[in-house]
Structure 1
Amino acid sequence: MNTPVRRLDAPTDRAESAPPALSVADLRVWFDTPRGAVRAVDGVSLDVEPGRTLGIVGESGSGKSVLSRAVMNILPPNAMVRPGTRIEVEGRDVATLTRGEAKTLWGSRIAMVFQDPMTSLTPVLTIGHQLTETLRRHLPMSKVQALARAEELLGWVGIPEPRKRLGQYPHSLSGGMRQRVVIALALACSPRLLIADEPTTALDVTVQHQILNLLARLQEESGMALILITHDLGVVAGRTDEIAVMYAGRVVEQAPTSVLFGATRHPYTRALLRSIPRISDPSHTRLEAIPGRPPTVIDPPPGCSFAPRCPHAQPRCLEQTPVLTVDPSAGDRHRIACFYPVGTAEGESAFAANAAAGRTAAGHPVDSRSVV
């Protein structure tokens, strides 16, 4: 039963002048701690158009999940959204709303698939109860109507025998099935924007593929905007329109997906790409890891946050913070935050100098076989 579920709002064509599904400008989210201010997200700006998919990629701790929770307005009490931040969902500034006001946007305008399907569902309530509760909270539905809609949703996300599943508890379903239920919950009220935060975590490769295909099909049928958050560039390849790569709370490279994979410029993005296993590699090929550890985001020092791990780093990188700007050599939609980008004369010269010296400006060793 995989027939499309009709949108509950009017299925009118969107005007060409319609606002972005999401527009974020200078988002800064800090956490107040005894050791200082944790700059979890530090100046991120991005737009997502209706019907388009944005991939947000980065290591754990890069600020991806905090960004998504800021958009949903579900940050913890010790989080501070700094003045000057603007988060607009279809033209409405979420950053200025109270939690109660933000709830009016949840479900019909914006929804989220959380990271862990094992803990996203309430274990003591049936699948049907959780779905109908969501539907009746946000929509004027009777219990009978909500049950019919819940059964339809489960069929839409590819769960067999959906009527039977309504009476079951989460523990009786596999991880892949539970993730499908979580997606059904998120899509119950036909949101305009769906945020999927690591939707394939803890799932095997086959189920990962099924879940990603499911999200793509649902997006095509409903026309919603989608943000796909992951640490794996391989997940977003071929499944997104644009990619933003985050490191230490900032976007360090952003471009259309084909452009980013075809002309990677930031050394961090290149390092992420080189860490992905390839079928074409010989058996027992050693995976390439990014040397060093992610930096602290508690009152960070000046300079590029990736400089201590970067084979291109020069003294300037330790003193000045590069700004995300258009790369003229790669097109006006390709932006990078790097003084010595990969694939440019400056970048190659910087790498060659570090390789010859055997170390970067920060004193870390450089393997001459690594990135250029």
Structure 2
Amino acid sequence: MDIDLSSQEIAFRDEVRAFLRDNLPDRIKRGAASSPTVFVEPDVGQDWNAILADMGWLGYQWPEEYGGTGWTSTQRYIFEKECALAGAPNLTVLGLKLVAPVIFNFGTEEQRREYLPRILSGQDYWCQGFSEPNAGSDLASLSCRAVRDGDDYVISGSKIWTTHAHFANRMFLLVRTNTDGRKQAGISFLLMDLDDPGVQIRPIVTLAGDHEVNQVFLENVRVPAANLVGEEGQGWTIAKFLLENERGGSCHAPKLAYDIEQVMIAAAEQPDGRGGKLSDDRDWQRRVAKLRLEVDALEMIELKILAEIANGREPGPQTSLTKMIASNLRQDIDLLAVDLYGPAGLQLPNARPLYGENAPDPLCSPDAQVASARYLNSRAWTIFGGTNEVQSTIIAKTVLGL
């Protein structure tokens, strides 16, 4: 695997860097840095999306015919890496990186014309309806029913841990359309409006004090049959495709490296209690060095997957490996930040957001203020998108052949 960039790729990297230098506002960087959750608040994320859309770079993972950039897989990686290293917020992943690829790979031409432009323009904000109270890791056991009634499906049931449903106007969801035979064979993939009659959204406040997730109740909600993606009963296949994108559709290592660097910058100013700075402490240096090496190893794995994609191969089960490694590193780095700030890092204000004019005053610094909330929120990394145990099972079966 050749990891050296060509002259054209170096020129592209420099173009991205110049764009970020000139077009990434400090208020958006501060908003991203002060967001303890996986998904930044829409006022930050959507503003950044709009800037990229004006440049024509928002759908950078999409095919050109649907509004994408036509970039190579290497260019996409360079773009994500440079955005991460510049402190840019994550993009609105649920619409851009999850449901959009499903629509242009499995959807009808009418669905592509209807939904894809609205994702790029920001008119539609999507949430994901997969997990249920009794079907989390065992997604095949979902029970939310969709019964065909003429030109509609009538949906009854509930979805849980639905990220940003309180902001979204649309949801893509898995429903059970058949109860006979294998559980996986009776699942279908639907698109729906959240303002339809019979939809109720209830907030779930996390341990960190964040309202990021929700439970969505669906009571006899009528959804046009035209909103079925793919064939009836094809939902399990589509879900596996989507989850591969969720687990390995982004480069995790650069963002993790950026966060380690921010911790190290702060450690250079943090007293060690012995008259020096924490960054000079040998035990601290060993701990940081271990994390840096692990992040470098993760980037090598991601680059190997990138090379395979460039040669026409699908991401495959290796995405489970990157998801699991990145999740563990995310938690370790957030714990490092809490330990860095000591008591100042234990503050846990319930007010949100932690940026802007109405943000609560920090006891020490804005970075210390967000440390504990981010640590608690990142406990979910080893759960969402498939738990570590699920990822280990996938790796054991499909990669190691056990």
TM over 0.5: no
The structure, 1 or 2, with the larger RCO (C-alpha pairs under 8 Å, 6+ apart) is: 1
More strand per residue: 1 or 2? 1
> Which TM-score tier does this pair reach, normalised by the shorter chain?
under 0.3
TM-score by length of 2: 0.26
More helix per residue: 1 or 2? 2
TM-score by length of 1: 0.27
